[in-house]
Chain A
Amino acid sequence: MTTSKRLKIGTAVAAALALTISLTACGTTEKSNTPTSSGSAGGSAAGIDASACPDSATKEITGDTITIGQSGPLSGPYAAVGSANKTVKAYVDSINADGGLQTTAGKKKLKLITLDDQYQASKTQSNVRELVEQDHVSAIVGLVGTANGLAVAPYLDQQCVPSLFPLSGSTQLLQYKFTTVGQTYLDQGAVIGKYLKQKYPNAKVAVLYQNDDTGKDSLAGVKSQIDGTGISIVKEESYEPTDTDVSAQMTTLAATKADVLLGFAFSVKCTQALKNLQATSWRPVILTDTMCADNDINAANVPDIATKIYKTDANKTSQALYGSDADFKKFVATVTKEGIEPTATPVTAWVPFELDLAAISNAKPLSSVGIAEAARSLPADTHPGLLRDGIQISTTPGEPAIRQFYMDPWDPAAKGFGKSTEPPISAE
């Protein structure tokens, strides 16, 4: 009895709080996220008008060192993701050990300053201000998180200091001129949509997605491709990132007996979804994106359904497949030297940092604004070592750099995703 009373109280409190928030909102959904860009389009090819920029941003970097800074979760609940920042550090060390980075102004050493933000956007803001105003960095690299990237983007637009390829798959960052984006969930969704059109033109599709930008963007990408085709979405079920499991959603989806399941579920939820699926008699083709990783599928241990799982990927992630690849070997050697396990997270940090380096190398003149312009429109022959062969970089300013993905089949024998034998699909 007391329990139910407390429960009631708890529900009342939650409901009241929800009411407070919805009252605060007064019903509008209008977004005010219009960018305060520092200049209008035009001017240079990459669309940056540097006339409003501080002198420090347009001044060419002299001396033999380029200072760059990064901020990420080195402590706190998300400290594990901080291995991304350690990877960047390891990479920088290896470059300096080889004598530096070739730029348009000769070989330069890199000085990297790493600060901890515990994945809190307000701390990222303070850190980035410190890096820009105290340490006078020429570029910000390796930011982790969408909110963290968004929190500093307007400021960096004012300061004309680029935030190079932060670890975020959000399209919201694309509106800022000095923030460049590596790849988005929207594009991965579009690739899945195109794959559906190719392979299953009349499929009935059921969807499980995480109810946040990640899941919604993925789904929006799919829809952008299948509207007006023979493919129909028969059921969409979402879950909250804080939900403990997805069994109710999976039961609802199983009742549809759809031909294809789109699984936009993160790590543990992906594992749970597969386990729930295994328990039913439903055996759809499963399409997923980088939200679901090898170890999530292995953790589910679902031999019956594992033959029909496909996933978007653009990176060389698996040691089993790329162990003999020269670039992958270099990556493994560099990170293991610093005590980092060469798993998926270091790879997802390595590839964008390779793009960062390409931007710095190609910047002309070598200044903050020059680096930003180079990053917005990388040379077409740029190819990060850990990017899969056959994938072409997008050179369009204001678009993500990586817009092509393979649809890799799961290989139950190897306990990992195999290599797709088909050419990559472009989201463009």
Chain B
Amino acid sequence: MNTPNTRSGRTSAGRMSAARLLPTSRGWRGVGWTGMLAAVAVAALLPWMLSSYHLSEASSVLYLSLAVLSVNLLTGMNGQLSLGQAAFVGIGAYSVVILVGDHGWTYPQAMAAGAVLAAVAGIVVAVPALRLRGLYVALTTFGIGLVFPTLLQKFTSVTGGSGGKSLTLAYLPPAGSGLDQGQWAYLVSLVVLVVAMLFVHLLKQSKTGRAIQAVRDNDIVAEGFGVPLARIKIATFALSAALAGLAGGLFALQRQFVSPGDLGLNTSIEFFVGMAIGGSVSVPGAVIGGLFLQYAPDLTQDLGITPIYTPAVYGGLLILIIIFARGGAAGLATTISQRLTRQPHSPPGLTADRPTQQDEPYSRSGIGREPPEEVL
């Protein structure tokens, strides 16, 4: 989970002049990959280890993680604040419920169609957002998040209105696999999530990925260096929406029910909180965000906190993270690992692995910026 690829993996490791630090950094990267593989292996075994109820919770984590990953890509990596991600999740979810339930499509077809439709909607939103920046992009996406549940209620004959729409056909496991529906839904979700995470990870390392992040850090400079600003912004929006649409597809697959109440502004804001908590630019951080969103409400209730204060707990955590750990849980893990590896050798005053302004310039929005160590 704690691969340090957010910073040491890419920018710092590549540029750090202190040669002796390189192996350490690489070593941590190796640990990260091993950890990830181990985590995936354990996750793949869960259907045979958990009761059906606990497995359904774990399935939720997978869908939530994918939704958080989509916010990571758009907000964390590209710096476009999204407060309406639930709308794209909703397009994916409703596509599956409507296409499978009313039009006889198969689940994979409907999920793919949902992702494509969400991407198209993403492009439509991205076009006005092109001229806007920071807070105004946030307001645009906020508007989408606000209007989406209303649209669902407007087209009641198709969407089932405020009562929601259920899907009686389950995605049946392949004959002879010996899996039950819940196990199959979990495994499909796991594969989709892992592929999506790998994709985003590779994207992040690629030239396009660097362009995406350069736009976040300083769009004017990025454009000066030849980054096609409009294309990058629209493509990121579309890609993020497609991932969110896929997450919606998983939601429909797992629950066979969707209603406007599940896709309100609250949900969008929860995804945003998930991103901040996991780490806005970290791919594995998305899973931490997903875990948080699934288990935190139960945990606060188990701790004896009256549910009505749960949003206050979220809010408080968000403030703490913005002040003390902008990289979220993943960023915190990276920082700690770097501290541990640095301590014995670093002579006082030498701060070779400390990010400088050139390494991680301030982004306009402040989102996606790595934690300056001075604060920690």
Contact = CB atoms under 8 A, between A and B. Distances in A.
B33 interface: no
B338 interface: no
B162 A212 contact: yes
A12 interface: yes
A52 interface: no
A150 B166 contact: yes
B218 interface: no
A20 B115 CA distance: 12
A373 B256 CA distance: 26
Given A25-B155, A75-B307, A150-B163, 5 more contacts: A21-B155, A36-B168, A125-B257, A151-B166, A211-B153
Given A119-B261, A121-B257, A154-B166, A21 B151 contact: yes
B65 to A, nearest CB: 15
Contact of B161 (A30, A122, A213): A213
A172 B308 CA distance: 30
B103 A28 contact: yes
B193 to A, nearest CB: 18
A16 interface: yes
Contacts, number: 165
A380 B157 CA distance: 37
Contact of B102 (A14, A16, A32): A32
5 contacts: A20-B91, A24-B91, A116-B307, A122-B257, A241-B153
Interface string A23-50: 1111011111111100000000000000
A148 B98 CA distance: 19
Contacts of A134: 51, 53
Interface in B74-131: 87, 91, 94-95, 98-99, 101-103, 117, 120-121, 124-125, 128
A242 B60 CA distance: 29
Nearest to B266: A76
Given A17-B148, A32-B101, A120 B261 contact: yes
A21 B163 CA distance: 17
A22 B266 contact: no
Contacts of A10: 128, 143
Chain B binding surface SS class? helix
B133 interface: no
B262 interface: yes
A12 B308 contact: no
Interface in B162-184: 162-168
B150 interface: yes
Contact of B308 (A21, A24, A74, A121): A74
Contacts of B311: 75-76
B53 A240 contact: no
A147 B259 contact: yes
B156 interface: yes
A157 to B, nearest CB: 11
Nearest to B169: A32
A13 B257 contact: no
B150 A242 contact: yes
Nearest to A146: B163
Nearest to A72: B307
A138 to B, nearest CB: 17
A119 B259 CA distance: 11
B103 A14 contact: no
B56 A129 contact: yes
Contacts of A34: 168
A18 interface: yes
A29 B257 contact: no
Contacts of B292: none
Contact of B124 (A17, A122, A154): A17
Contact of B297 (A25, A28, A30, A116): A116
Given A17-B121, A75-B307, A129-B53, A121 B262 contact: yes
B310 A75 contact: yes
Contacts of A119: 261
Contact of B168 (A16, A17, A74, A154): A154
Contacts of A116: 297, 301, 307, 310
